[in-house]
Amino acid sequence: MSAVRRVQVLVVGAGQAGLAAGYYLRRAGLDFALLDASPAPGGAWQHYWDSLRLFSPAAYASLPGRPMPAQAGQAYPDAGHVARYLAEYEKRYELPVHRPVQVQTVGDAGDGGLLVPTDDGSWHARALISATGTWSRPFVPAVLGRDVFAGRQLHTHGYRRAEDFAGQRVVVVGGGNSGAQIAADLTSHASEVRWVTRRPARFLPDEIDGRALFEIATRRVQDGGPRISDLGDIVATGAVRAARDAGRLTAHPMFDRLTAAGPAWADGTVWPADAVIWCTGFRPALTPLAALGLRGHDGRVPTDGTRARADHRVHLLGYGDWTGPASATLIGVGRTARTAVAEIAATLRTAD
């Protein structure tokens, strides 16, 4: 059997949150490693649909230390550009990423540290940063008739391009950004698109982009300012705004059930469809932490900042505002990563 590899800090996940943590761990002079399940760099960005664009210009979507270069001909970079930026970032700072590595569990080592078995040997760490994100855990609600619909069903996780649905009648489920963007994207190729939401679609003011969202989230934490959800749910990107203003992006009430032919409403209306795309979000990928018993009743891990309340050796980074304001965004994760690493470094120094 191979020897257990030992580091001061182990980061699980090498997407944008893991890389931001790695940047500050390097600056702090700590011994660390990053374990990434993907065979290639780029985090979830390498898997997004072709037409996806950032909400912000490149200069306002950067990780710490290295501004994202602008993409030629694009005011708002696409997902492929972001994935390439993350790959270059990882290389530039010589971050010790091991991939592809599947973490099996995180357990107590019995000596004050954590033991982390993987499919490529085991690791021992004094502290761990969980930065696994949500992409690997797509959520589809339990809707009556899902198993009888005769057409194609997929989640945002599996959507790539509108051309794949040319000439088809497509139902898009979900009142968030992905639902609006994918529905708008499909209007250029599908024969008909019906966008359904559980409540009326709420677009943010057209002038709000990623920069403004980050400022709003930060003010909310600092002085109790408005929540983003108080203003709306959907960023009016150029493509979304164009489809909405042209009357091609109108939200319909959520259906009651699926039939073999398509969705059905309470009044008996059935809309024949070839495909249903579930833009219904993701859940935090926290399975490796299960053995530590950290989760609360809502499925999240209760934290003080990024530190798990039930185990101070574990920090969570990049899952949403509950692990730092705007920490699930490129522009926002750096600030939280810096704070988390500073706390870890101070704890390790005290223990020494």
Cα–chain center distance at 160: 16
Helix (H) or strand (E) run with residue 79 in it: helix 79-92
Helix (H) or strand (E) run with residue 186 in it: helix 177-186
* Burial per residue of 161-196, b for 16 or more beta-carbon CB atoms within 10 angstroms, e otherwise: ebebbeebbbbbbbbbbbbbbbbbbbbebbeebbbb
Q: What is the pLDDT of residues 228-276, one digit of tens each?
A: 445 557 888 889 999 999 999 999 999 999 999 999 999 999 999 999 9
Question: What is the per-residue pLDDT for 184?
Answer: 97
Two structure tokens written together for 68: 């994202």
Question: What is the per-residue pLDDT for 188?
Answer: 93
Question: What is the per-residue pLDDT for 211?
Answer: 60
Question: What is the per-residue pLDDT for 198?
Answer: 94
Residue 81, helix vs strand vs coil: helix
Question: What is the per-residue pLDDT for 236?
Answer: 82
214 φ/ψ angles, rounded to the nearest 5 degrees: -65, -40
Percent of the chain whose predicted confidence (pLDDT) is above 70: 92
By the 10 Å C-beta count (0-12 exposed, 13-18 middle, 19+ buried), 93 is classed as middle
pLDDT at 85 over 90: yes
By the 10 Å C-beta count (0-12 exposed, 13-18 middle, 19+ buried), 131 is classed as buried
Structure-model confidence comparison of residues 222 and 324, the more confident one: 324
Q: What is the pLDDT of residues 51-62, one digit of tens each?
A: 999 988 898 899
Q: 113, 123 in Cβ contact below 8 A?
A: no
Question: What is the per-residue pLDDT for 233?
Answer: 76
pLDDT at 288 over 70: yes
Question: What is the per-residue pLDDT for 192?
Answer: 97
Average confidence (pLDDT) over 33-55: 96
Average confidence (pLDDT) over 175-194: 96
Q: How many helices (H) and strands (E) does the chain have?
A: 7, 16
Question: What is the per-residue pLDDT for 7?
Answer: 98
- Comparing CA positions, the residue from 95, 92, 68 lying closest to residue 81 is 68
pLDDT at 222 over 60: no
Q: What is the pLDDT of residues 139-178, one digit of tens each?
A: 999 999 999 999 999 999 999 999 999 999 999 999 999 9
Place of tokens 């569990």: 105
pLDDT bin (cut points 50, 70, 90) of residue 83 is: very high
Residue 124, helix vs strand vs coil: strand
Lowest mean pLDDT among 74-83, 87-96, 210-219, 338-347: 210-219
Question: What is the per-residue pLDDT for 210?
Answer: 54
Question: What is the per-residue pLDDT for 320?
Answer: 87
- Comparing CA positions, the residue from 337, 303, 352 lying closest to residue 28 is 337
Question: What is the per-residue pLDDT for 218?
Answer: 56
Residue 93, helix vs strand vs coil: coil
Question: What is the per-residue pLDDT for 292?
Answer: 96
DSSP code, position 288:
G
Angle, CA 334 vertex, CA 309 and CA 304 arms, to 5°: 15
